[in-house]
Amino acid sequence: MSTATRAAAAGRAAPVVGHRALALDAGAIALVSLAIALAAHELVLMSVVVGLVVAARFALFARLPRAERGLGLGRDAALFAGLAVVGGFNDWNTVCAHRVYDYLVPVELPEVSTIPAWMLVYWGLILRFVVTLSRSRALGAPARPRNDVWLGPLARLFGPARATGGVVHSAALKLGLELALVVATRQLIYRLWDDPVLSWLPFAVALGLYALWFRPGKYELGLAALFALGGPVVEALYIAAGLHRYALGWLGGVPVWILLWWVLGMLLVADFGARLFARLAPAEREGHVPAAQPQAEAPPHPDRSPA
């Protein structure tokens, strides 16, 4: 593969974020989690708390240096809104359309949604934190998302310009396979959520395929460990507070498939998020060099005559 082809396959660089940006998004999750633990069944109070936390998060985000946060305020708001829509719709589709699990707290319009509106907004904070974590300097986030897909002998089908040693270098192929993993596991859990084995088996297979195709390195393995531990622990706390309820909740109310979904789903969100970061922050792309400013020539010293 030529150097130019490798550069094209690598795609745009995505900025990394600093410790204060990470602490800000983690603090937002901690505040809402505390409110859930204390007042999950207070609809008005939870709506106010989530609204205030979102507003405070954006106000403090705007005060961070640009190098610390990676995005301008407007583009960050667009990213937050998109993540809230994706996370909220996925939750609504899983809970309301397919009845995979149930929320146990008051809602505004039960005939439309059994999920409170504040929870749908909260998904924006959750996924925004995942994206921030995945781009964190503390975790050693790579400059660019990896586009390597291991296909073994099948890699030859893509030709020598895009494949070397059984590995295909293609962002489109990687995104397509990631999307296939999401669609397959979601469709299967809609049908098998109450089966003691088949509920979690597709997620285990999907994680195996993820490891086979994408060969996770130290960075991805670190993210996976954080999600495997943090996601189910926080969900167990929410379940204990009476927020929601799963069938087959063997792990403190958390089913095995949710633990596996936290790992798989958040790894995919992290990869998608890095690509969105690169799209939304064009000034931070590698190779962007501000134009040099001309310098005024210093006047000659009065005691010196020109040569």
Phi-psi region of 116 (alpha: psi -120 to 50; beta: other; left: phi over 0): beta
Which residues have CB under 8 Å from 280's CB, separation 6+? 71, 75, 76, 78, 79
Is 7 inside any structural domain? Answer: no
Is 112 inside any structural domain? Answer: yes
Is 305 inside any structural domain? Answer: no
Is 198 inside any structural domain? Answer: yes
Residue 18 has pLDDT above 70, yes or no: yes
- Domain span at residue 45 reads 14-284
Is 296 inside any structural domain? Answer: no
**pLDDT tens, 233-289?**
999 999 999 999 999 999 999 999 999 999 999 999 999 988 988 888 754 444 443
Number of structural domains the chain divides into: 1
Which residues have CB under 8 Å from 179's CB, separation 6+? none
Query: Quick one: tokens of 101?
Result: 């699990």
Residue 86 has pLDDT above 90, yes or no: yes
**pLDDT tens, 169-210?**
999 999 999 999 999 999 999 999 999 999 999 999 999 999
Is 262 inside any structural domain? Answer: yes
Alpha-carbon distance of 207 to 260, in angstroms, equals 8
Is 215 inside any structural domain? Answer: yes
The DSSP-derived string for 108-120 is: S-TTT-SS-HHHH
Eight-state DSSP code of residue 100 = S
Helices 117-134 and 218-240: crossing angle in degrees, nearest 10, is 160
Is 302 inside any structural domain? Answer: no
Q: Is 17 helix (H, G, I), strand (E, B) or coil?
A: strand
Alpha-carbon distance of 21 to 24, in angstroms, equals 5
Parallel, antiparallel, or unpaired: how do β-strands 148-150 and 167-169 relate?
antiparallel
Look up the pTM and report it: 0.86
Segment (H or E) for 177: helix 171-192
